[in-house]
Amino acid sequence: MEELATEKEAEESHRQDSVSLLTFILLLTLTILTIWLFKHRRVRFLHETGLAMIYGLIVGVILRYGTPSTSGHDKPFSCSQEDRPFTTLLVNVSGKFFEYTLKGEISPGKIHNVEQNDMLRKVTFDPEVFFNILLPPIIFHAGYSLKKRHFFRNLGSILAYAFLGTAVSCFIIGNLMYGVVKLMKLVGQLSDKFYYTDCLLFGAIISATDPVTVLAIFNELHADVDLYALLFGESVLNDAVAIVLSSSIVAYQPTGENTHAFDAAAFFKSVGVFLGIFSGSFMMGAVTGVVTALVTKFTKLHCFPLLETALFFLMSWSTFLLAEACGFTGVVAVLFCGITQAHYTYNNLSVESRSRTKQLFEVLHFLAENFIFSYMGLALFTFQKHIFSPVFIIGAFIAIFLGRAAHIYPLSFLLNLGRRHKISWNFQHMMMFSGLRGAMAFALAIRDTATYSHQMMFSTTLLIVFFTVWIVGGGTTPMLSWLNIRVGVDPDQDPPPTNDSFQVLQGDGPDSERRNRTKQESAWLFRLWYSFDHNYLKPILTHSGPPLTTTLPSWCGLIARCLTSPQVYDNQEQLREEDSDFILNDGDLTVTYGDTTITANGSSGPHTATTSLDGRRTKSSSEEALERDLGAADHEVTSRGTRLVFPLEDNA
């Protein structure tokens, strides 16, 4: 009879697992159908992520109040002789041993309120599911689909906002929340310990912005390309910085009796941890991308697109797990792996695999992101350890507002001192408004909810995500109109020309000046490494770029011939990615025939720096390739080995 009862319980548990997964699949299905309806009706006041949260809330209410308790046999046992909890516990029941695993700590006041509903327990996922399964495709897609064109135009500003701005926001929010905690203690609303390091950790968690709603609306309305690049670039790198900051704060361990007091040695150790984790994760992601590029180049995998796509997928995902296993941060590693894969490996893939990989990670990103937002709505009612404090919640909203303001406005002022194209006030106001919190903040908060302070931080983070996605996301379109930010601009390309005729630009006049100034302004950081990348890395790792026999010294001829792909000899011009890179620049009509370049100004010669008949210097091969890579409005005509570049005049 006992064996039959055990088998029946196992069968019931399996059924409940199936029902819980089916619940989320139905949630996603309903979300997709409603998204189609919203797009069909051109509804923009609510984004798909906000919709997924609403459906999650509805299902959470049904599960919480509409399903009966299914077990009531939990009984506390005393183990007073032990001074620490065990991860696994073996219990002897009438001569039979049963294994139990640690679920977490329960406060004495809630010992009799432990959740008795098995279904609610089933839909409460292990936080590691979010980090190891749901986050990797979201972060990788951000790096793999990165449109480098306008990203590199604003690279310096993006790095400043992502690194310096996130650190400023973290410390301002952390210190303000420490004042709120002191106030709570003064008025008697703090029932357990809440340290200064906990406040800094909350600052790091909540500084992870996720303006997915705003960016989606920007895409639909084709908002200003530079504003889009600033917001997207900041959000991509901001998540990586926030998670490394949180790891550094956790690693802060002062010596002495008070382990939460300020200690200079511990502080500098945390700074070292931050730099070590970030640089190590960056290198791990870049190396994995380089290894994948080499494998796809020097093998015949392109003859088997299915195997090629499978290898690409596994190598990309394993980057996250490898970094976590080595003590680094998988988010940073998989982000830079995605950027490296897009820059190198993508060129080696077959046409079919290029399409497959882009679509595969786009679908995984969409499903994972909406799953997380659905689970957020569900967690508001199914999570068993919520602690809501009105004072802490109100203080958090005020601290976030002030932290975002200190993040955007002072940095924008400093950046404008060195920018030709200033970040205007309406851009700054829109960036201030667009500081939504989303999947990353939720994943960081739910990862550790063992203590009183972390439970309060998680509950507050959940409410902040709800508010920013619904209210701020819904107000994006009116805010764009109110701030007079231009729309109707393709975020992937410069504005189209005003006429349909091909023009040969002689390189003189204000238009040429404008383009040269744009080139120098947008790509100065990129130029520091582009020449080396174009002349050496791309020929080694891909089938594009100049042959190494022309860029390496003559005594390296054997190595150069071994590492250079035969396709490069067949076609020595730079292979272009489908989603064009970087920024506009070619100014001359260029005819490339074999190793000879003839410009519209009459200059000709091999791919080296020469001087044209009118006295102007022609670019070297790497400079020409840079301008081709940065050019997005060029129309190419290739016939029998001859490449004609007809630039179109742009009107900004």
pLDDT digits (tens, 9 = 90+) for 402-428: 999 999 999 999 999 988 888 999 999
What are the CA-CA distances from residue 268 to residues 197, 251, 264, 490 (Å)? 15, 11, 6, 45
Question: Which pLDDT score is estimated for 221?
Answer: 75
Confidence of residue 256 (pLDDT cuts 50, 70, 90): low
Q: DSSP letter at 573?
A: S
333, 327 Cβ separation under 8 angstroms: no
Cα distance between residue 530 and residue 237, in whole Å: 21
Rg (CA), the chain: 28
Cα distance between residue 555 and residue 204, in whole Å: 52
Cα distance between residue 378 and residue 120, in whole Å: 10
In 3D space, the residue among 347, 302, 421 whose CA is nearest the CA of residue 577 turns out to be: 347
> Could you report the per-residue pLDDT of 21-48, keeping only the tens digit for each?
898 899 999 999 998 988 888 777 777 7
131, 330 Cβ separation under 8 angstroms: yes
Q: How far apart are the first and last CA of the chain?
A: 81
Q: How many CA atoms lie within 13 A of 136 on its CB side?
A: 23
Once rounded to an integer, what is the mean pLDDT over residues 193-204? Answer: 91
Question: Which pLDDT score is estimated for 597?
Answer: 45
User: Which tokens belong to 80?
Assistant: 């007073």
Question: Please, which residues have CB within 8 angstroms of residue 368's CB and are 6 or more apart in sequence?
Answer: 133, 134, 135, 137, 138
Q: DSSP letter at 209?
A: B
Q: Is the pLDDT of residue 588 over 70?
A: no
Cα distance between residue 215 and residue 629, in whole Å: 25
Cα distance between residue 443 and residue 209, in whole Å: 12
Q: How many CB atoms lie within 10 A of CB 11?
A: 10
In 3D space, the residue among 552, 520, 519, 523 whose CA is nearest the CA of residue 535 turns out to be: 552
Cα distance between residue 578 and residue 616, in whole Å: 32
Alpha helices in 188-222 (DSSP H): 196-206, 212-221
Question: Which pLDDT score is estimated for 512?
Answer: 46
Phi (first) and psi of residue 646, to 5 degrees: -110, 95
Confidence of residue 644 (pLDDT cuts 50, 70, 90): very low
Question: Model pTM?
Answer: 0.78
Question: Which pLDDT score is estimated for 640?
Answer: 35
Question: Please, which residues have CB within 8 angstroms of residue 16's CB and are 6 or more apart in sequence?
Answer: 118, 119, 122
Mean pLDDT across the chain, nearest whole number? Answer: 77
Q: DSSP letter at 123?
A: T
Q: Among 6-15, 340-349, 567-576, which is the least confidently predicted range? A: 567-576
Instruction: Please tell me whether residue 591 adopts helix, strand or coil conformation.
Output: strand
- Name residue, tokens 């051109």: 42
Q: How many CB atoms lie within 10 A of CB 7?
A: 10
Higher pLDDT, 295 or 384: 295
Question: Which pLDDT score is estimated for 192?
Answer: 86
Instruction: Please tell me whether residue 86 adopts helix, strand or coil conformation.
Output: coil
Q: DSSP letter at 494?
A: P
The residue count for the chain: 652
> Could you report the per-residue pLDDT of 261-280, keeping only the tens digit for each?
666 777 788 888 889 999 99
Cα distance between residue 35 and residue 295, in whole Å: 40
Higher pLDDT, 482 or 97: 482
> Sign of dihedral through CA atoms 572, 573, 576, 581?
positive
Q: Is the pLDDT of residue 618 over 60?
A: no
Question: Which pLDDT score is estimated for 632?
Answer: 39
Confidence of residue 163 (pLDDT cuts 50, 70, 90): very high
- Name residue, tokens 């882009």: 358
Q: What angle do CA 205, 206, 209 make, to 5 degrees?
A: 105
Higher pLDDT, 228 or 167: 167
